[in-house]
Amino acid sequence: MLNTDIPVFQPRLEVISRDQALAIHSGALEILSQTGIKMQHPEVRQMLLDNGCIPGEGQWVKIPEQPVEKALASVPKKFILFDQMGNKAMDLSGDNFYYGTGSDTTFTRDLDTGVRRNTRLQDTANFARLVDGLPNISFAMSMSNPQDVPIEEIYVHNFAALVQNTNKPLVFLADNKNDLAKIYDLACAVAGGPDALRDRPFLLNYSEAISPLRFPAHVMDRLVFCAEKAIPICLPSGANAGGGAPVTLAGAMALGIAENLAGLVIHQMIAPGAPFLFAPNVSILDMKSSVVSYGCPEWSLTQAAMAKMRDEIYGIPVWAFAGATDSKVMDAQAGGESMFSIATAMLARCNLMHDAGYLEYGNTSCMEMVAMANEFIGLCRSFLRGIPVDADNLALEAIERVGKGEDGQIFLTDPHTFAHYRTAHFIPLLLDRKRWDTWLKNGKMDLYKRCNRHVRQILETHQPIPKPQSVLDEFKQILPGLT
């Protein structure tokens, strides 16, 4: 008799062993305890010294293992990001994974002309509305560094544009504690007050330390603010192999993890139990071009290793990237590099992947790239589901019906096919499987043109649920001049 209780085997990628993970972790602890960090925020430095850390020369502080272990014990092993209407949206725990866009690019590929141009605030709004209409893109970031708003208020205007054009969770940036405070006030208006935002956070702050081992005061101001307000945060650094970190991947990972552990220690000293996303970004500095690569295999390799270290040591959800490229246009290189990072991040079970839609190593955003990433994520999800094996999926009755039927009969018209075809296979929206004559009749469109058409359709027809007028009025009080 057929066993119908067979669990589905889901493919998984592992790139390091437990022993390797422990060795990298030990290296990070040694960096903190022997080399230390340069803490440029006087109050935070004093807090570290008051809690068992060791003073070094000048602004340097050495962090022994005990504060690290204490922070790892208090930090939540999971947390939830809600959408802006208060519904659970992203359960950042275990093997769960979510993809989203990236942040402040200088340029974008114009949807109408295809020309690379400086970004404007309307681009932030358009990317947010696109994300709102794509089922496989779970959160939005600004995707632009708009040139048409005051430079000191770029991040506040970006945040306002995001919340007016999507109801999905947001990952946001801030420059200092002043604009962070304004963003917090805007978020409270959306959520219904500070308590509601604390209970159902829909936003996560992205801040960066500076590799190697530098923690500027303004970065610490943001970390302190988010810890005190229980705003989820990640704190990557610039531990890119050959630039801000050793050229070898193990050394770069050890440094990036040490910097993240230092941030975690400070964060949990301020507010034990506040949500923190572990985020050692470890790409490479390309030795020919001196750019930090978004298409290299090494970044995918190091973040897959981080997922293993989460499972073996830290237990904290991890930050990652996917869906980006070093190519200057959306071409075969862009497709190959973005698909590689999407697939490997999913197979490794990284938790939160950003940067879908980046061209030119993060300098340029591209709406068609976001649409293509949405399609690739759906394709990879279908692969990850594996092959269910039970009585219904083995289809023995259907085989008997069709097998004993008339010569030439196939399964296309069998009831089993009608019952299962929508869920048994991946059904592409943008990837082309048409016959040659149909493809010619439909205009011989390549993937870029199909993505462009799909983006246009979403921007023309998709309307996110609007914010109440009372919220918009409060926005104008917080940010005078908001349109």
What is the pLDDT at residue 177? 92
Report d(CA 100, CA 127) in Å as an integer: 11
Q: How far apart are CA 268 and CA 337, in angstroms?
A: 37
Contacts of residue 456, defined as CB under 8 A and 6 or more positions apart, other chains included, come to 111
Contacts of 50 (CB under 8 A, 6+ apart): none
Using CA atoms, how far residue 18 sits from 227, 298, 329, in Å, is: 31, 19, 39
Q: Which of 329, 394, 407, 339 is nearest to 366 (CA)?
A: 329
CA distance 109 to 327: 12
Beta strands per DSSP E along 47-155: 54-55, 60-62, 79-82, 88-92, 98-99, 107-109, 116-118
With beta carbons less than 8 A apart as the criterion, state whether 124 and 450 touch.
Answer: no
Q: H or E element: which one contains 47?
A: helix 42-50
Helix 469-478 / helix 177-191 crossing angle, nearest 10 deg: 170
- Is the preceding peptide bond at 7 cis, omega within 30 degrees of 0? no
| Close Cβ partners of 125 (under 8 Å, ≥ 6 residues apart) | 161, 162, 164, 165
**Is 432 in contact with 450 (CB distance < 8 Å)?**
yes
- How far is the C-alpha of 198 from the C-alpha of 344, rounded, in Å? 33
Angstrom CA distances, 328 to 138, 289, 325, 376, stand at 25, 14, 8, 19
For 98, which DSSP code? E
What Rg do the C-alpha atoms of the chain give, in angstroms?
24
Give burial (CB, 10 Å; 0-12/13-18/19+) of 311. middle
Residues of the chain with pLDDT under 50: none
- Is residue 1 exposed (0-12), middle (13-18) or buried (19+ Cβ within 10 Å)? exposed
Asked whether the beta carbons of 405 and 25 are under 8 A apart, the reply is no
For residues 97 and 353, the answer to whether their CB atoms sit within 8 Å is: yes
Q: CA torsion sign, 335 to 337 to 342 to 343? A: positive
Q: Are 281 and 235 contacting, i.e. CB atoms less than 8 angstroms apart?
A: no
